[in-house]
Structure 1
């Protein structure tokens, strides 16, 4: 049974309840002061607290989608990552292969013409040889005959670290939110490409082209758009593409739009930070390359690089987010440029979590829709 299985969570909760009941029942019998009674009390208390901790941990992981499997949790995930593919193509002969399809949850109807569709795909970068899974949301209009020659704007949607791509679908509800907004005329129909910024798990690459390592920035700036364009009816002009992310994904989104405005016309960072960290999860990202380190610092980019012709959106909360002051500083810094446009969503309160981001996603998608064109 998998880490995110409801059966695993139910068993953990039942085990915790049984241990609690057993502790209450057996406590009078263990009231003596001999070593056996003391050991029994310690064992029951330790077992009950461990079971409670396990239950809370499993429930939290299901709610926020931190880890997708036991192997992911213990840093042993090896099925996906950086691979050498000498043809530069997926198994289907192209850089993108559809693995499975599903209808959008919470939306009436079973046909894609009415309900849209979420496709699980594998993507292989032609230039970087990076392979990663993703989910692609196609709006109902994509399947309707009257739109058969139409191209659609696209937004790349990134998780935080470690995060799971499925959480963007099941927990943050990007497809159903986008469909509801489009149905009500509050945004145009858009294609969403949802994935992790972590393309070499368990390493956190921070969307950097690591010397001698995975070229993550190149993958998101070139390989990913090329793969999607080769498979779907997506607008080819720069104004057709945007990128959204939360936390680490938010930092990546802002950086990619600032570095590659010819690819991404708009970027939204939900609770982002503004400088790539160096810690045990990232390893040595720059390997002594000062120029690469500077490019990964958005503050440095604002001060020393020409202002990119792109639109940025940042979010934070006055209470509950550690990036609030940094976000105000970033907004002020961007405002001093003459080409980059900056918008913000500032909540009165909200933590660094899914509930906060669900409150920001509808407005973010509307903002993004207003800055992208079809072709």
Structure 2
């Protein structure tokens, strides 16, 4: 049973309940003052508390999608994607392999022409040789005959760290929200490419090209767009791609839009921060390269390099988010530039969690849709 399985959670809860009942039942028998009775009481309390903490941990992981599997939790996720190239006519091999398909749940209708489709894929970067799983949402129009010659705008959607790509589908409901907004005429149909920024697990690369290490920024700025272009009908112009992320993914989205405005015409950071941290999860990201460290700092970027021609969206909450004051300062700093455009969503209250981001996602998708073209 997987880490995110409902059966795993149910069995863990059942085990904890049985231990609690057993502790109550056996406690009178362990009331003596000898070492065996004391050891029994200590053991029962310890095992029961561990079981309760396991229940809580598994439930929180299911709610927030921190880890996708036991291997991911233990830092043993090292399997690379399998490359299958695709060319016209169905022969050949390409950087995107479709592993499975499913319909978009929570919307009326059946079949991809009515609800769209979610494809689980493996993507391999041809220049960085980095591999990552992802989910691709294709809107209903992608499958309808009248749109067979049309290209679609693309938005890359990133989780936080460590995060799971599946949480963007099941917990944050990006495909369902995009389908409903497009159906209601509130945004244009677009393709969503959903993945986590951790493309060299378990390391948190902060979307940095690490010297003599993972080239994460190049993967997102070059390899990912090239792979998607090769496999799907997407716009190739500089105005047809956007990027959204939450937390770590939000920082990556803002940085990629600012570093590569010719690739990403718009970037939205939900609960983002503005400077790459260096901690045990990241390791040494910069290897003494001061220039690389500075460019990973969005404050430094705004003060020392020409303003990028891109659109940015930042979000925060007056109560519940630690980035509120920094976000206001960032907005003011961007407003002082003469080219970069800035928008914001500021909630009265909301924590650093899925519930807050679900409240911000509809408006964010509408915002980014209005800044992308089909070509």
User: TM-score range with shorter-chain normalisation?
Assistant: over 0.9
Q: Deviations over 1:69-128 (max 9, x none)?
A: 1111111111138x9x8x999996111111111101112233100010001111111211
C-alpha distance in 1 between matches for 2:128 and 2:70: 28
Does residue 1:270 correspond to 2:270, yes or no? yes
SS state of the match for residue 121, structure 1? strand
Q: TM-score scaled by structure 2? A: 0.96
Q: Deviations over 1:102-158 (max 9, x none)?
A: 101112233100010001111111211111111100000100011111111110000
C-alpha deviation, 1:288, in angstroms: 0.6
Kindly report the root-mean-square deviation, in angstroms, between the aligned alpha carbons of the 2 structures: 1.7
C-alpha deviation, 1:5, in angstroms: 1.3
SS state of the match for residue 355, structure 1? helix
Equivalence map 1:10-25=2 (5 Å): 10-25=10-25
Counterpart of 2:151? Answer: 151
Equivalence map 1:160-309=2 (5 Å): 160-309=160-309
Counterpart of 1:47? Answer: 47
Structure 1 unpaired stretches of 5+:
none
C-alpha distance in 1 between matches for 2:85 and 2:151: 26
Q: Deviations over 1:169-206 (max 9, x none)?
A: 11110000100111111111110000111110001111
Structure 2 unpaired stretches of 5+:
none
Does residue 1:361 correspond to 2:361, yes or no? yes
C-alpha distance in 1 between matches for 2:241 and 2:195: 16
SS state of the match for residue 313, structure 2? strand
SS state of the match for residue 203, structure 1? coil
* TM-aligned CA distance change 1:95 to 1:271, over 3 Å: same
C-alpha distance in 1 between matches for 2:116 and 2:182: 12
Counterpart of 2:138? Answer: 138
C-alpha distance in 1 between matches for 2:78 and 2:85: 20
Is the contact made by 1:88 and 1:127 (CA closer than 8 Å) also made in structure 2? no
Does residue 1:314 correspond to 2:311, yes or no? no
Does residue 1:38 correspond to 2:74, yes or no? no
Counterpart of 1:339? Answer: 339
C-alpha distance in 2 between matches for 1:88 and 1:109: 32
Counterpart of 2:8? Answer: 8
Is the contact made by 1:313 and 1:343 (CA closer than 8 Å) also made in structure 2? yes
Is the contact made by 1:88 and 1:126 (CA closer than 8 Å) also made in structure 2? no
C-alpha distance in 1 between matches for 2:14 and 2:325: 44
C-alpha distance in 2 between matches for 1:265 and 1:362: 19
C-alpha distance in 2 between matches for 1:266 and 1:99: 29
Is the contact made by 2:23 and 2:45 (CA closer than 8 Å) also made in structure 1? yes
Is the contact made by 1:89 and 1:126 (CA closer than 8 Å) also made in structure 2? no
The total of aligned residue pairs comes to: 372
Moved more, 192-201 or 120-129: 120-129
C-alpha distance in 2 between matches for 1:109 and 1:363: 24
Counterpart of 2:112? Answer: 112
C-alpha deviation, 1:227, in angstroms: 0.8
Counterpart of 1:94? Answer: 94
C-alpha deviation, 1:42, in angstroms: 1.2
C-alpha distance in 1 between matches for 2:131 and 2:50: 38
C-alpha distance in 1 between matches for 2:147 and 2:40: 70
Does residue 1:61 correspond to 2:61, yes or no? yes
Is the contact made by 1:88 and 1:129 (CA closer than 8 Å) also made in structure 2? no
Q: Deviations over 1:277-312 (max 9, x none)?
A: 111111111101000000100000000010001000
C-alpha distance in 1 between matches for 2:44 and 2:257: 54
